[in-house]
């Protein structure tokens, strides 16, 4: 085993390839505290500029998985399949997808996160439901999976602890945007979760983590490769996130819209993306069932209620509503050619729906409802966006974030495909 962290840093700084021993030495040392933050930050920055080759990345990911425990889902009694999204604005797909795929006959062990910046977090959304609990013991996760088929919860502290520590450091050192580090962060947690197969929703567009199609494709290919290396059947689907998904952006607002889809209504774009991902998950699980038929039957709605109650939530309780609501009118007549997802996400964040730091609180009621979407024709003065907040002092800053968000024209723009590409 290498014992000199400076040798590891210099090797990567100078464009060399780290040995398996060097990678494991670093991951183990940083996790147990024997390697200092400033030394780890230096290596992370070197990786940003020099990258990791496939063998380095495979060992790096394996070492992160081995830094903690790996769940054993073999006793669940059903094929296990999960989904991960790289995030976006209005992306409430997990809330619909997990119970839908459970209703199709699979077990969905979805370990999710919280929102940061302009993108929302699945746990924040579900916590808008009175009583719902994100933190579960391993025994509870296994019991809920066996009985209800779907669980959405926070990852335990002993699942890939190296990733948790490294991500916190990347967040404050400008080293988040490196494909190998993003891919290993996502996949180490998903592989440690113990699922047999995985569908990745890699979003592309202004509201996505990676707006560039080429970068999103590279991330997808990298993660699919990591999954294959670790025996997890993995497929990636690239989906559009240039405009918000659906109409609701914000925690309780998105729960409401998710329930509308589960009940057979809701926006067409949410339903299309959800069903595309559900078909991939069902196929990986080896189930001969049509998710669209299951959704139409009401079985997914029943599975949602069971999932929420299993985590102490009350699916029939009223959801929080904002004290203050303001509409943003259209400045002119015409077709909406573009509704910038990132601007809408930033505005929702300013209203209180998101957080700047992981420890910040969020408002369950805050957010934005898009009353019109790209392709719609609007008249001058027609309400385009509805802003919800518990603090009216936040409204002006949210409106300012939307100043360049809407592009109008005499003709509608060519619609962008929602499902762009499949990899795997």
Where in the sequence numbering do the catalytic residues fall?
Answer: 84, 163, 170, 185, 189
| Tokens matching residue 251 | 């925690």
The 10 Å CB-count burial string (b at 16+, else e) for 374-394 is: beeebeeeeebbbbbbbeeeb
Tell me which H or E stretch contains 118: none
- Among 397, 252, 256, 255, smallest CA distance to 320 is for 252
What's the CA gap between 347 and 367, in Å, rounded?
A: 8
Q: What is the dihedral of CA 88, 89, 93, 96, to 10 degrees?
A: 150
| Maximum Cα–Cα distance across the chain | 69
Place of tokens 């990852």: 155
- Please check whether residue 191 is in contact with residue 61, taking contact to mean a CB–CB distance below 8 angstroms: yes
What's the CA gap between 290 and 275, in Å, rounded?
A: 9
Residue 137: half-sphere exposure toward Cβ, Cα within 13 Å: 3
- Among 263, 220, 305, 266, smallest CA distance to 90 is for 266
Q: Is the dihedral of CA 145, 147, 153, 157 positive or negative?
A: negative
* Terminal-to-terminal C-alpha distance of the chain: 35
- Please check whether residue 330 is in contact with residue 371, taking contact to mean a CB–CB distance below 8 angstroms: no
| Tokens matching residue 91 | 């992306």
């Amino acid at each position: 085993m290498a014992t000199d962290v400076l040798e590891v840093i210099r090797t990567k700084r100078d464009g060399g390839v780290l040995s398996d021993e060097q990678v494991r030495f670093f991951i183990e040392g940083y996790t147990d505290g024997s390697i200092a933050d400033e030394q780890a930050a230096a290596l992370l920055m070197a990786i940003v500029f020099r990258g990791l080759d496939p063998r380095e990345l495979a060992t790096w990911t394996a070492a992160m998985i081995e830094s903690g425990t790996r769940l054993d889902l073999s006793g669940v009694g059903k094929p296990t399949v999960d989904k991960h999204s790289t995030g976006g604005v209005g992306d409430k797909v997990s809330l619909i997808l997990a119970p839908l795929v459970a209703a199709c006959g699979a077990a969905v062990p979805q370990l999710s996160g919280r929102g940061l910046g302009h993108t929302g977090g699945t746990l924040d959304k579900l916590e808008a439901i009175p009583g719902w609990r994100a933190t579960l013991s391993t025994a509870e996760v296994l019991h809920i999976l066996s009985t209800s088929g779907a669980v959405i919860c926070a990852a335990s502290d002993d699942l890939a602890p190296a990733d948790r520590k490294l991500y916190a450091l990347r967040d404050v050192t400008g080293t988040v945007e490196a494909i190998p580090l993003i891919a290993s962060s996502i996949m180490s947690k998903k592989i440690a979760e113990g699922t047999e197969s995985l569908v990745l929703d890699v979003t592309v567009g202004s509201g996505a983590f990676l707006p560039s199609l080429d970068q999103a494709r590279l991330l997808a290919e990298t993660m699919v490769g990591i999954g294959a290396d670790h025996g997890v059947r993995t497929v990636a689907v690239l989906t559009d996130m240039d405009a918000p998904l659906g109409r609701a952006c914000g925690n309780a607002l998105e729960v409401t819209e998710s329930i509308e889809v589960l009940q057979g209504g809701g926006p067409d774009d949410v339903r299309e993306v959800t069903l595309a991902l559900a078909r991939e998950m069902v196929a990986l699980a080896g189930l001969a069932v049509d998710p669209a038929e299951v959704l139409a039957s009401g079985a997914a709605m029943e599975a949602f209620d069971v999932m929420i109650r299993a985590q102490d939530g009350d699916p029939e309780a009223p959801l929080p509503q904002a004290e203050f609501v303001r509409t943003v009118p259209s400045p002119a007549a015409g077709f909406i050619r573009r509704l910038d997802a990132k601007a809408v996400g930033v505005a929702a964040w300013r209203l209180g729906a998101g957080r700047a730091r992981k420890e910040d609180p969020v408002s369950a009621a805050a957010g934005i409802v898009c009353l019109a979407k790209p392709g719609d024709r609007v008249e001058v003065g027609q309400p385009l966006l509805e802003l919800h907040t518990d603090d009216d002092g936040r409204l002006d800053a949210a409106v300012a974030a939307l100043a360049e968000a809407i592009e109008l024209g005499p003709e509608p723009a060519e619609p962008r495909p929602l499902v762009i590409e499949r990899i795997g």
